[in-house]
Amino acid sequence: MDTTFGVAAMAQNQAKCRRGEARYESKARRILLPEFRFVTTRFLSTSTLSNPTNDFNPDGLPEHEFDESHEGYYPNFPVLIQGNGEPWDIGNLYLTQKLASEHKYESRTYRAIADHLLDYLRYLEDEGLDYLHFPKLNQLKVTYQYRRRLVDQVQAGEVSVSTASARINAVIQFYRSIMHWKLIDEDLFMLEPFKDVQRYINTITDYGIPRSLRVKSHNLAITTPRKQPQAEYIYDDGELRPLTMQEQELLLKSLLQSSREYQLIFYFALFTGARTQSIGTLRIKHLKGRLDGDGYLRLPIGMGTEIDTKKGKRMQLLVPGWLVNDLLIYSKSQEVSKRRIRSYYGDIEDNYMFLTLNGNPYYTSKKELLDRRDGQVSRYVGYEEGVHRTLTIQDGGTIRRADAGSECNTVIELTMGRSDIFSSARSSSR
């Protein structure tokens, strides 16, 4: 067998396994609607709900029209399709009711929920079970049976524990919501599909005070084993390992062989501790301030500054004066000016400091997403979803893929799996 074909086939099988296609015979699937809109049904005066049959309506359906909401559309909204090609009514009703009751929409969040429900739907179709199959014996209830299937898949290595946990949680939330919203008759839930339980989570406040939080859970939860922390790592939404002195020296040496812009990006990271997101959204105008008595520019970043941070957290960076000077010299070069001319904002100081050859940012800022927002999109749609579909949103990947020399790339491969490697690198050099 051809090696290339074999590798491609293996990759395709792995993708099918992640989507659940390899585990079930069901042909149920999830599709995306490019533009989903809420509509209001308006019944015409020629017909009434109590007596819909008339000369204009021989089929007995009330005469009606649809009025589109002025709210705007929701991009890439998921819809669940059963194996027979028909929409899964209760699943889609749950997704639309969830959308109507929330004040924020992100397509990837709804797609993730829909994919978990799709796995459940495929299980139901393969086993010939109804989603309301709740006999007296708990072990025969469809929710309990599905949990056993998920545990079996974890034991077989077909899905991770975290995936199985997310799926059963999504299914329980589905049942909670359709009961709360009264989407189906309450009599159908005389025998509960699961049991609510109270759990306590030990945490520490910002002031170092231990605290126990009571959270609502359920008896079908699949717990994820806690990973044993390692002393040499910093845990900040993931594992970070500070660069050793040898790695820092190798990195700085290798940077001498790379482009000037790549040098400045790394210098800014190493000497300020900024994340890729903050570096990529830095603008020329931000470096026009005065230096303090120690020769540093005190640069505020976060919400309200146009320099993005994780979750918009406000903080201040200390930028060495020599680095500020080098950045301003770089911004005045002819090549960088050409890049700004090719960009969305043009050749102005309100533009990004770092742009690619094509004039694209390395990290699309929230300000640009707001400036380029599609006026027809619902106001509840998030920043990234609200722009026109032709815009490619950058997330710093171009920086990580840049050619900085073979030795430098060795360090980058070891350390740049996360965008905040720069912070951990700086912590070891203090």
- Burial (CB < 10 A; 0-12, 13-18, 19+), residue 14, is exposed
Residue 381 counted as domain residue? yes
For residue 5, what are its two tokens? 């074909």
Cβ 30 vs Cβ 80: under 8 Å: yes
Asked if residue 279 and residue 171 are part of one domain, the reply reads no
* Domain-terminating residue out of 196, 218, 250: 196
Three-state secondary structure of the chain: CCHHHHHHHHHHHHHHHHHCCCCCCCCCEEEEEEEECCEEEEECCCCCCCCCCECCECCCCCCEEEEECCCCEEEEEEEEECCCCCECHHHHHHHHHHHHHCCCECHHHHHHHHHHHHHHHHHHHHHCCCCCCCCCCHHHCHHHHHHHHHHHHHHCCCCCHHHHHHHHHHHHHHHHHHHHCCCCCHHHHCCCCCCEEEEEEEEECCCCCEEEEEEEEECCCCCCCCCCCCCCCEECCCEECCCCHHHHHHHHHHHCCCCHHHHHHHHHHHHHCCCHHHHHCCEHHHHCCCECCCCEEEEEEECCCCECCHHHCCEEEEEEHHHHHHHHHHHCCHHHHHHHHHCCCCCCCCCECCECCCCCECECCHHHHHHCECCCECCCECCHHHECCCCCCCECHHHHHCCCCHHHHHHHHHHCCCCCHHHHHHHCCC
Asked if residue 380 and residue 273 are part of one domain, the reply reads yes
d(CA 324, CA 319): 7
* Domain-terminating residue out of 196, 211, 234: 196
Residue 203 counted as domain residue? no
Asked if residue 366 and residue 271 are part of one domain, the reply reads yes
d(CA 262, CA 329): 15
**Biggest alpha carbon–alpha carbon distance for the chain:** 88
Residue 289 counted as domain residue? yes
How many domains are contained in the chain? 2
Phi, psi of 306 (to 5 degrees): 75, 0
CATH number at residue 379: 1.10.443
d(CA 287, CA 350): 11
Asked if residue 265 and residue 151 are part of one domain, the reply reads no
Asked if residue 304 and residue 173 are part of one domain, the reply reads no
Residue 3 counted as domain residue? no
The CA-atom distances, in angstroms, between 173 and each of 98, 303, 342 are 11, 32, 47
Look up the domain containing 357 and give its range.
Answer: 259-402
Asked if residue 184 and residue 76 are part of one domain, the reply reads yes
Asked if residue 268 and residue 151 are part of one domain, the reply reads no
Asked if residue 395 and residue 279 are part of one domain, the reply reads yes
Residue 2 counted as domain residue? no
Residue 121 counted as domain residue? yes
Asked if residue 278 and residue 130 are part of one domain, the reply reads no
* Domain-terminating residue out of 164, 196, 228: 196
d(CA 312, CA 368): 15
d(CA 195, CA 256): 62
Asked if residue 267 and residue 350 are part of one domain, the reply reads yes
Asked if residue 141 and residue 29 are part of one domain, the reply reads yes
Q: How many CB atoms lie within 10 A of CB 71?
A: 14
pTM for this one? Answer: 0.68
Q: How do the pLDDT tens digits run along the chain, 430 residues long?
A: 454 444 444 445 444 555 555 689 999 999 999 889 888 777 776 555 555 555 555 556 677 777 776 678 888 899 999 999 999 999 999 999 999 999 888 888 999 999 999 999 999 999 999 999 999 999 999 999 999 999 999 999 999 999 999 999 999 999 999 999 999 888 888 788 988 888 877 777 767 778 888 888 888 999 877 766 666 666 665 667 777 888 878 888 888 888 899 899 989 998 998 999 999 999 999 999 999 999 999 999 999 999 999 888 999 999 999 999 999 999 999 999 999 999 999 999 999 999 999 999 999 998 998 888 877 787 777 766 777 666 778 888 777 665 444 444 544 444 443 334 443 333 333 3
Asked if residue 365 and residue 274 are part of one domain, the reply reads yes
Residue 209 counted as domain residue? no
Residue 123 counted as domain residue? yes
